Structure formats: C-alpha cells, structure tokens
Amino acid sequence: MRLTTALFHHAETLLAELLRSSFPADLVVSNYFRQHRELGHADRGFVAEAVFTVLRRKRSLSARCADEVTSRRLLLASLACVQGMNRRELDAVLTEAERKWLAHAKAVKVDELPPAVRLDLPDWLHALLTVQFAADDVEQLAAGLNQPAPLDLRVNSLKATRHDVLARLLADGLAADACPYSPLGIRLVGKPALSKNALFIDGRIEVQDEGSQLLGFLLQPRRGEMVADFCAGAGGKTLLLGALMRSQGRLYAFDVAERRLARLKPRLARSGLSNVYPVRIESERDIKVRRLAGKLDRVLVDAPCSGLGTLRRNPDLKWRQTPESVAELSAKQGAILSAAASLVKPGGRLVYATCSVLDAENDAVVAAFLAQHGEFVVRSAQEILANQEIAIDCGERLRLWPHRHGTDAFYAAIMERK
C-alpha cells in the first residue's frame, strides 16, 4: 500500500490518542474508525497495524527516538525500523530534518539496549519472567508476543464441516489452512473482512483463537449434560461448548457484565444453538449460582486475568497492567475458582484457565485451591486431548505459547471431583 500524507495523518492522530487514553486500545481504535468511515478496509488495516506495532515495540522505539519521543517519531521509527518501509516509501511524509534523524534512529544497535527495553517489556514484567523462565525462553516468548496474531476461525460443527468451510473460503478467494491442533480451527492468511461473508452471517464460522478453542476440548462436554461457562464474556467458548454438546442438555453462560452477555445474543442467534442460557450474576456468590451447587457435570472457569498472554492482539495491556493489578486479580481468581467448584457434582470436571503467562495467576491460584479442596484431583491436559486425537505437546497442565504453538499464551488446569 502506498503511504500518503492523509493515511499517515490518520495513523499519527490515532496513535497520539492511544498513548494518552486510559481505555483499551481496541476500543479506541474501533471508535476512531466509526468516526472516520471514509477509510476503506485496506486503509483501516494499515492504520491499525501501524499503531499496534508501536504499542508492541514502544520501549525499543523510544530508545531510537533518543531525547524527543513523540507520537510522530515513534510512528516513523516503527514504519522504517520494524515494518521495513524504505526511504522512498516514506518520502511523502518526511521533512528534511526527519530524514537525517531517521538515519540515526535506524543506526541504533538494539542488541546493546537493556534486556527489558530490547524485548519491549516493562521492567516489572521482565523481572517476573526471568524468575519463571530461562533467559532464552524469555527472549523467545517476548519475540512471539511481539508478533501480530493471525486470524483464526472456528467452524460451527452444528452447521458445517471444516472441509466444506475451507472449500468455500477458497471459492471466495480467501487463503486459509486447517489449524494444526483444534479439529474445528481454520487459520486465514491475512486479515480479510468477514462481517459480510455468508459463512459468518449464517453462523457456520466464528472468530476464535486456536488456543481458546482447545479449552472447550479440555472441558469435553457431552450431550445431555449440565454445564456452565462461569465467566462467559461475549460467549466465544460458550458457543463451542454448545456445539460440542450438539445443542442437547443445559449450558449456562454466567457473567457479571450485561454488556458482554448482550454481545453473545446475536452470535447465539447465528449459531443455531438452543441449549444456552445466558445469566447475568452480581458476583461469583450470586444466589443464581448457589442454587446449582453440586448439580453440574462440567464447569469452565476462563478467569478474568491480566491478559498478558494475548499481547499479540492486545499489546497495550503490558503497559497498563502493574504488579498491584496482578495481585488483585490473583485474589479474585481464587474466589471465582472456589465458587465455580461448588457447582461441580461428584465425578464432574472443573477447568480453570487464563490467558496469562504469570505463575501468580496460574499455578499459584490452582495450588491454593487444591490445598483447600482435597476432593479435587488434577487430570492431564495432554492425555485428555490425546484421547480426542489432538496431538500437542502442552504438558499435564495446558501451557500454550505463541512461539511454540502459534496461539495466544494459555494456561489451564483440569480437575475432577472425586
């Protein structure tokens, strides 16, 4: 795409807004595009990727900017040093002074920067990761999280097969391949618009990261069972669970936010499912939850977390989270897990999951829970997936990594009540 002054102005304006906003980046970007409907799909794609690249690489780009870190310089450094635009492509937007500065910015030896700066991580997060992982693993994880995420789809098995969806995508001129792990996953090449595609409109596909899809296969709900998605959000995993149940049985979608459940409704209508019951609750101890104590076959707890495993698509989170916010989340996660566990009947299954890379939100929460609830035993994630012919090296507790599995970073512990 040819860079014009108008397109660069949009990217610069949006980036400046992102850098001063306290709202999530995807919300800010969506609002900006709603205000500028003159931007076509390709223009929006360029602007979005330009600003998200800056958010991913902000620390190392700031080092290239030296003593004048502005949104304009960050954007120019990103386009030249990360996205690989040459001087000829940038000529339309560069001043003479910027041409000289950019030559110096490109000459900065990133390998000689402090590790946290070079890896584009806040100091506190880099320090925690160096405790959890070997130095090489921290490098690879950071590199994986600093790459843009691919666009993954999940086939709605109530309405289509993966083979048929792949054939239709090809007929529509969209390049795609089967995901390596999820039996329902498809990975698209590029980021095509899907909202007007017939497959999306009639509910044969949903957008869902492959790692997120695997959580449904860990819960492994069956027809006729009583199941709960305890932190349902907008319902991506709820829809998968309903399809795995063949729309039979009863599936509760609990969430504390009405606006999130409202986003589930149109997706539910497209899906063809009739066994899903969205329920807004006041808290994890709501009476609507307590009435189901000991009655459910399976409960998924995709807990509210720091989201640090989703930095490929939400890079702003690493600059917005703090050690204090993680500590608050850990306490909340423990309370939610304990409440959700009370719903599981003897012989039932409980899956605790996060999209975080931090032990404080993962193993530490599960260890504290198991110490208080000796009636639960841990099952092997790798074994459960292998029994469904999903071959993946993920460990006893599911650990997915962008640099190893090509997914967001996910954690899951599978427990069953004796």
Residues marked active site are found at: 355
Going from the C-alpha of 93 to that of each of 12, 77, 86, 144, 259, the distances in angstroms are 11, 13, 12, 31, 41
153 and 360 in contact (C-beta within 8 Å)? no
400 and 211 in contact (C-beta within 8 Å)? yes
Taking CA 65 as the corner, what is the angle to CA 32 and CA 318, rounded to the nearest 5 degrees? 55
**Alpha-carbon span 364 to 330, nearest angstrom:** 8
Any idea how long the chain is?
Answer: 418
**Alpha-carbon span 63 to 67, nearest angstrom:** 8
3-class secondary structure, 47: helix
Q: What is the DSSP letter of 109?
A: -
409 and 402 in contact (C-beta within 8 Å)? yes
Taking CA 317 as the corner, what is the angle to CA 323 and CA 36, rounded to the nearest 5 degrees? 155
Which of 355, 327, 351 shows the shortest CA–CA distance to 340?
351
357 and 409 in contact (C-beta within 8 Å)? yes
**Alpha-carbon span 333 to 328, nearest angstrom:** 9
Going from the C-alpha of 326 to that of each of 104, 134, 338, 397, the distances in angstroms are 38, 22, 18, 21
**Alpha-carbon span 242 to 53, nearest angstrom:** 36
Determine which helix (DSSP H) or strand (DSSP E) holds 398, and give its type and residue range.
strand 398-400
**3-state class percentages of the chain: helix first, strand second, coil last, to nearest 5:** 50, 15, 35
If phi over 0 gives left and psi between -120 and 50 gives alpha, with beta otherwise, what is residue 296? beta
